[in-house]
Chains A and B, each alone.
Chain A
Amino acid sequence: MISLRRSCYWASHYLLIALYVVFALFPLFWLVKVALTPNDLLYSEGIKLWPSRTSLEHFNFVLTHSEFPLFFRNSVIVSCATALIVSLISAACGYGLSRFNFRGKGVLMALMLITQMFPLVMLVAPMFRLLAPLGLTNSLTGLVIVYSAFNAPFATFLMQSFFEAIPKELEEAAMIDGATRFGAFRRIILPLTLPGIAATGGFVFTAAWSELLFALMLNSSSRASTFPVGLLSFVSKFSVDFGQMMAAGVLALIPACLFFLLIQRYLVRGLTAGAVKG
């Protein structure tokens, strides 16, 4: 009797899990499927679960005859630069917050919290007006600066939690042995928190890679467009070519998934530190 109830329980457990897996993967499967469907089959077999013939023609076109390689390059530059800058400055700031008590610490924390509480979309208009005269619209540098500021507070909170997990005595011992604080930070603390810093970089990279609204507002020329902007303008220009769009979509998915694998272990920490941000 009990074993019957138990196997009923596990059967429904696995059934529910399977439903979740299907729900999670189906939209991604469909993206790949349409990207692989040749144009002549797209309309006749558009709704079929798998086309009778697949081809890489859409990927070929997107990679050789479109501006997507340029958009891809722009996005890689912006996301990598943002991740690098934010990792450096938020590691420094997180370290300062975890190791020192100083006047103004409360104010700094409050300012960082404020930046997490108001909707960023509020900044779209003033940001454009302030950056345009400085030549930072239609420029990748402008986007890097904006994204670095957006991600720095959340990354700082994350880094602070990593540093606080490391006992102060470690660096104090090194400082007694004659190392400067910065020397102790560089030689002892940094190696220990390197995985955490890499995870922070991964989070920031993903956020910068996905950002759409500010990229749309600030960079209208295709020379400085990031991937999301390029894909969206492609959609409004040639709304018929689904295969090519989805091929481009699959390409946009690749770096994001790679970084997801990298930061998967740190998801819980990252999500709680950035609960306001996502």
Chain B
Amino acid sequence: MTSSTQNTSSAAWLARVTPVAIMATLVAMAVSIPLTHAFAAPGDPGVIATLLRWTPVIATGFGLNLIMSFVAVILGTASGALLGIAQISTIGWVRKSAFLFTEFFRNAPTLVLLFFCMFLLPFEITIGDTTIPFPPWMKAVVGLALSKMAYVSEIVRGGLQSIPSTQWEAAEALGFSRWDTLWRIIIPQCVKRMLPPWMNTYAILIMSTPLASVLGVHEGLTMTRGAISAEGRPEMLAPFYLYLLAMFFIYTYPISLWTIRLERRYAVQG
């Protein structure tokens, strides 16, 4: 049961979630509670009571997942946008290096990137007299942001190139510089088109954040596993993981619904 619900949390599923899948999740949750009762030793507090007791701990961990996703999406979007623009540069070496950089990180497994950042980045950064600590969760953010950056770079490149070259030509004939053309004419036309795929990559990003648990970051999954081992009750395994999955679901599902709505709307507008 646990493995089936974990499968349903994969990114591919999220983009095309069906009512059937929602029902399956809800049924799984409903069934797991009486089942765990069957295994419960007499005298243990009930499943709900146990989950409620651990909620502040797990929610704090999940909060870190959210914070990591916010910081990573900001860093990844900013760097990815620049990289995507560099991919259509008229300067050959800029275009080629942006392309290679994008492809390298786009084809890198996120978990490997996380290990890479963990061992490559210093634990603190000293600028002049100030020392900024660089805790593991921030290293994980860098790893996640690198992956996000590569996807954003591709989204931006594709979006910019979807605008016909005649728009560039018309702007050039009116004396617009390349940057002005990009900023005032090309980007405003394609930013809407880029929004749905960008939101898709955000959904993938938030669901990648538990990978940070292998680096010892105290995010939702780490905290849930901590709670499980503290309780030491095998029958609580499924409820705890389902509880965490539910948190991810409640946060991500509206985003995916919204993405699909935006996709439809912009598809109609062309």
Task: Answer yes or no: do A and B interact.
Answer: no
